[in-house]
């Protein structure tokens, strides 16, 4: 239950941080657990991140714009690069508290209001988060960690750190991820609070998320192209399996568009444990329609043929037998 809560929360929770930033990202190494029966062989470029003598010039040329945010980070961007600010644990705990409260009150709230507070919070929601964070800071940390919210926070922190480690080990330098560069710690300006950050890594900026691209094509009635992008999305997932990692979080917001390819943006849902994969794939029957599970029900409502095609492709490709056949050293059925 906690794992499902974490995955849903990571996909849905949104909000801008206002207190206690961590101005320099921390990398926490945790054990990734026993890998599959055989560790995949790295390609010639895998595991390589380019190291620069100094930060790209455009990062220090002027204030970086806030591009978006998730439950654990806020993203700022220049024309070609993005940097991230990790949220303070109290911020994350406040967002978890708000999420649980909104979920409980959703039955009494208009659907648009409840969903909007989770997906695209306005100033009232951000102000509420500031107040909740004050409460979090006033209560001893041990009390929060003894609650279900503490359990959710621990699951989330562990999955985020583990996903980052797996991405660095199996996917860095491949076409699955946007390119990243590392450089000496550099102070950069941002257009909103806290005003500046100290960063030492930047990631190539994508054109938009896959969800935004599909919605853009739907508004233009270019449905055939939607099918092409969904096929690229499935091909990207397969590429991850062949390298020995599987993403448990399939929300289209977690994938980006670069030219004619799809890339993975959020690595928090990555796993290399077959038990995690089996659990996820065995629970797929909960979603009667895969396209609806990905949030495409309204997008494809006028094209049931594309929805049916995608559902058939998903069921044929995303199942235990198909993943096992592509996974290096997968255990026998």
Give yes or no: residues 255 and 293 share one domain: yes
What's the pLDDT band for 139 if we cut at 50, 70, 90? confident
Dihedral (C-alpha) 261, 267, 273, 277: value to the nearest 10 degrees?
-60
Check residue 26 and give its pLDDT.
31
* Residue 121 binned pLDDT confidence (cut-offs 50, 70, 90): low
Evaluate whether residue 95 is within a structural domain. yes
* Residues 224 and 185 reside in one and the same domain: no
Mean pLDDT value across residues 67-87: 91
- Report the number of distinct structural domains present in the chain: 2
Same domain assignment for residues 165 and 281: no
Q: What is the pLDDT of residues 141-188, one digit of tens each?
A: 888 888 888 888 888 889 999 999 999 999 998 999 999 999 999 999
Statement to judge: residues 121 and 48 lie in one domain: yes
Nearest-10 Cα torsion for 5, 9, 11, 12:
130
Single residue among 159, 175, 205 that ends a domain in this structure = 205
pTM: 0.79
Kind of pairing between the strands at 50-51 and 180-189: parallel
63 within domain boundaries = yes
Same domain, 184 and 214: no
Cβ proximity of 126 and 15 under 8 Å:
yes
Q: In what order do the strands lie in the sheet with 208-209?
A: 208-209, 255-258, 261-264
Q: Which of 178, 294, 174 is nearest to 233 (CA)?
A: 294
Choosing from 179, 205, 231, the residue where a domain stops is 205
Which among 161, 182, 205 is the end of a domain? 205
Look up the domain containing 90 and give its range.
2-205
The answer to whether 199 and 188 have CB atoms below 8 angstroms apart is yes
Q: Name, in order, each residue with C-beta under 8 angstroms of 6's C-beta and a sequence gap of 6 or more.
A: 152, 155, 156, 159
* Residue 80: per-residue pLDDT: 96
DSSP per-residue letters across 108-139: GS-HHHHHHHHHS--HHHHHHHHHHHHHHHHS
pLDDT tens for each residue of 289-314:
899 989 899 999 999 999 999 999 99
In this structure, the number of other CB atoms found within 10 A of the CB of residue 83 comes to 25
Instruction: Please indicate, yes or no, if residue 9 is contained in any of the structural domains.
Output: yes
């Amino acid at each position: 239950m906690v794992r499902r809560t974490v995955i849903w929360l990571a996909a849905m929770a949104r909000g801008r941080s206002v207190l206690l930033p961590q101005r320099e990202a921390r990398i926490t190494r945790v054990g990734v657990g026993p890998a599959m029966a055989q560790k995949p062989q790295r390609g010639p470029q895998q595991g390589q991140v380019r190291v620069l003598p100094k930060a790209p010039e455009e990062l220090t040329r002027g204030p970086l714009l806030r591009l978006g945010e998730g439950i654990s980070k806020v993203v700022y961007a220049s024309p070609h690069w993005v940097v991230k600010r990790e949220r303070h644990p109290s911020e994350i705990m406040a967002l978890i508290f708000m999420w649980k409260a909104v979920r409980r009150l959703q039955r009494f709230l208009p659907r648009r209001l409840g969903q909007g507070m989770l997906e695209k919070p306005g100033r009232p929601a951000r102000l509420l988060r500031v107040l909740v964070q004050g409460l979090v800071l006033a209560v001893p940390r041990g009390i929060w960690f003894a609650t279900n919210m503490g359990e959710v926070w621990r699951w989330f922190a562990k999955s985020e750190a583990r996903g980052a480690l797996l991405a660095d080990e199996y996917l860095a330098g491949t076409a699955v991820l946007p390119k990243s560069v590392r450089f000496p710690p550099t102070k950069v300006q941002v257009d909103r609070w806290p005003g500046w950050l100290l960063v030492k890594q930047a990631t190539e900026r994508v054109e938009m998320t896959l969800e935004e691209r599909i919605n853009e094509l739907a508004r233009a009635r270019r449905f055939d192209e939607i099918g092409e992008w969904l096929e690229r999305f499935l091909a990207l997932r397969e590429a991850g399996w062949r390298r020995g990692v599987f993403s448990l979080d399939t929300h289209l917001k977690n994938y980006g568009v670069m030219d004619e390819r799809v890339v993975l943006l959020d690595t928090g849902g990555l796993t290399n444990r077959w038990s995690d994969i089996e659990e996820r794939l065995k629970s797929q029957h909960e979603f009667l329609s895969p396209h609806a599970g990905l949030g495409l029900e309204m997008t494809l409502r006028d094209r049931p043929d594309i929805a049916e095609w995608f559902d058939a492709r998903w069921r044929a490709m995303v199942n235990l037998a198909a993943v096992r056949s592509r996974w290096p050293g997968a255990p026998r059925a």
